[in-house]
């Protein structure tokens, strides 16, 4: 054998021995529609759903009303579960719509009728479980919000055969202790709870203030950024007289009593403050906690990972990722509760104090 071919054969076998230790090369399955590919052929069933809801349900409206509603209902469905009491529901099981006549009537589900009206016609058209539809629509909704890291989607949930009882969904007027206890009972830690509440960065309220709808929880409700964690830690100067409401730092912004309490509870205050101006950590913690929430009560070993079907979320620009004090406010307006860790000093947005627009 010539010296060069000995060398080639040695190099090839060295390369192959490296390959044999690496992960096998996966072939993506071509879907029957002749257009799409998926890591698992079972996921092909999701492409027609994706296309329909993108075009007709979310109607390409971005990180706005429909996306926010789809995200909220995914939590209200999943949280109907207890690690100790089977009578509390079977988790992310679609019960909130399947038994909507009962569950949507619970006080904590005020406003969930909007999500039902949005999603029901599409659930009727597509042959996937209601439980899967709710969580799939929520994952798709997240991909509309700049700053979200790619969500996961596990496919194959079993639908509920009974409704979740009342009082599984936390209320904004409950104490942080009660809320954390309810979340823990469903299998979610205090850290998971704070992580999940990053969702309130792309959210607002229709039913807390009887005189206003679409009142955002932070000044950037279409961006999944850390402003929510900044603004919930600023002194409240605008009165919030309604049940479940606390005073907010900016005209036109609504602060939930529960967010205020969790921002200051010793069990969560430092986790809360740690998210301030820490986009990557916040987005990563949310990504993980959301994946956990989405399969509450389901047998994970029977689900298929169809995350590759989801579109990529838009990125947040560097300037959007920079947290700031709203115009006219600064570090002296911070009401911090994480003893021993100074609140980061942030730039103040230029201009005179403004009022936040409704969504
Ligand atoms: C843990 C305690 C929580 C409480 C007490 C709570 C409470 C609330 C309340 C009172 C509203 C306003 C409803 C209205 O008046 O329209 C709201 C909105 C919202 N919540 Fe939560 N929430 C919690 C956790 C979560 C979680 C874990 C998620 C998602 C993972 C979530 C997602 C949302 C979204 C997206 C909205 C905005 C809905 C819209 O604009 O249509 N929330 N929440």
Indicate the top mutation candidate among 139, 192, 200 to test ligand 1's pocket, ranked by most ligand atoms within 8 A of CB: 200
Is the pLDDT at 15 greater than 50? The verdict is: no
* Ligand 1, atom 7: closest residue by C-alpha: 172
Residues 6+ positions from 32 with CB-CB distance below 8 Å: 44
pLDDT, position 22 = 55
Whether the pLDDT of residue 13 is over 60: the answer is no
Nearest CA to 98 out of 82, 119, 84 is that of 119
pTM comes to: 0.92
User: Taking CB atoms and a 6 Å cutoff, what residues make up the pocket around ligand 1?
Assistant: 68-69, 71-72, 75, 111, 170-172, 179, 193, 196-197, 199-200, 203-208, 244, 256, 258
Taking a C-beta distance cutoff of 8 angstroms, is the pair 75, 293 a contact?
Answer: yes
CA nearest 286: which of 196, 153, 201, 223?
Answer: 196
Residue 6 pLDDT level (bands cut at 50, 70, 90): very low
Does the annotation flag 93 for ligand binding?
yes
Question: Quick check: 92 and 294 in contact, CB under 8 A?
Answer: yes
Q: Is the pLDDT of residue 30 over 90?
A: yes
Query: Which tokens go with 85?
Result: 């009491």
User: Which of 203, 192, 333, 197 is CA-nearest to residue 261?
Assistant: 197
What CA dihedral angle connects 130, 131, 134 and 137, to 10 degrees?
-90
What's the whole-number mean pLDDT along residues 48-74?
A: 95
Give me the pLDDT at residue 1, please. 37
Catalytic annotation on 76? yes
110-144 tens-digit pLDDT: 999 999 999 999 999 999 999 999 999 999 999 99
Residue minimizing CA distance to atom 2 of ligand 1? 170
The pLDDT of residue 221: 96
Residue 354 banded pLDDT, cuts 50, 70, 90: confident
Is pLDDT at 27 greater than 70 in this prediction? Answer: no
In eight-state DSSP terms, residue 219 is: S
The class that CATH gives domain 41-358 is mainly alpha
Residue 215 pairs with which residues in a beta bridge?
205
Degrees (nearest 5) of the Cα angle 240, 243, 248? 20
- CA 108 to centroid of ligand 1, rounded, Å: 10
Share of residues in the chain with pLDDT > 90 (%): 88
Mean pLDDT, residues 328-348: 94
As a whole-number percent, the residues of the chain with pLDDT over 70 amount to: 92
At 150 the pLDDT is: 98
The alpha carbon of 41 is separated from its chain's Cα centroid by a whole number of angstroms, namely 27
Smallest CA separation from ligand 1 atom 25, residue: 197
Ligand 1 centroid from CA 249, angstroms: 19
Examine the pLDDT at 225 and tell me if it is beyond 50.
Answer: yes
Q: Is the pLDDT of residue 31 over 50?
A: yes
């Amino acid at each position: 054998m010539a010296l060069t071919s000995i060398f080639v054969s040695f190099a090839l076998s060295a390369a192959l021995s490296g390959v044999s230790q690496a992960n096998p090369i996966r072939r993506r399955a071509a879907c029957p529609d002749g257009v799409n590919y998926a890591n698992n052929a079972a996921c092909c069933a999701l492409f027609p759903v994706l296309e329909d809801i993108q075009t007709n349900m979310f109607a390409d409206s971005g990180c706005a009303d429909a996306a926010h509603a789809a995200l909220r209902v995914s939590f209200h469905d999943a949280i109907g579960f207890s690690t100790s009491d089977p009578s509390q529901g079977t988790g992310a099981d679609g019960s909130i719509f399947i038994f909507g006549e009962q569950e949507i009537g619970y006080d904590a589900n005020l406003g969930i009728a909007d999500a039902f009206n949005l999603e029901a016609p599409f659930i009727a058209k597509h042959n996937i479980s209601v439980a899967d539809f709710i969580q799939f629509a929520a994952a798709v909704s997240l991909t509309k919000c700049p700053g979200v890291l790619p969500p996961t989607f596990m496919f194959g949930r079993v639908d509920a055969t009974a409704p979740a009882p009342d009082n599984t969904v936390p209320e904004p007027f409950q104490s942080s202790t009660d809320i954390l206890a309810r979340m823990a009972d469903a299998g979610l830690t205090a850290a998971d709870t704070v992580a999940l509440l990053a969702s309130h960065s792309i959210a607002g309220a229709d039913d807390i203030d009887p005189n206003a709808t679409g009142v955002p929880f932070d000044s950037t409700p279409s961006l999944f950024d850390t402003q929510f964690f900044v603004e919930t830690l600023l002194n409240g100067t605008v009165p919030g007289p309604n049940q479940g409401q606390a005073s907010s730092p900016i005209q036109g912004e609504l602060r939930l009593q529960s967010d205020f309490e969790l921002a200051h509870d010793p069990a969560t205050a430092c986790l809360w403050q740690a998210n301030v101006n820490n986009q990557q950590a916040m987005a990563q913690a949310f990504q993980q906690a959301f994946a956990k929430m989405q399969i509450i009560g389901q047998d994970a070993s029977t689900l298929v990972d169809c995350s590759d079907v989801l579109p990529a979320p838009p990125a947040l620009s560097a300037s959007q990722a920079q947290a700031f004090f709203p115009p006219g406010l600064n570090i002296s307006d911070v009401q911090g509760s994480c003893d021993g860790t100074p609140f980061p000093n942030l730039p103040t947005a230029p201009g005179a104090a403004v009022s936040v627009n409704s969504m």
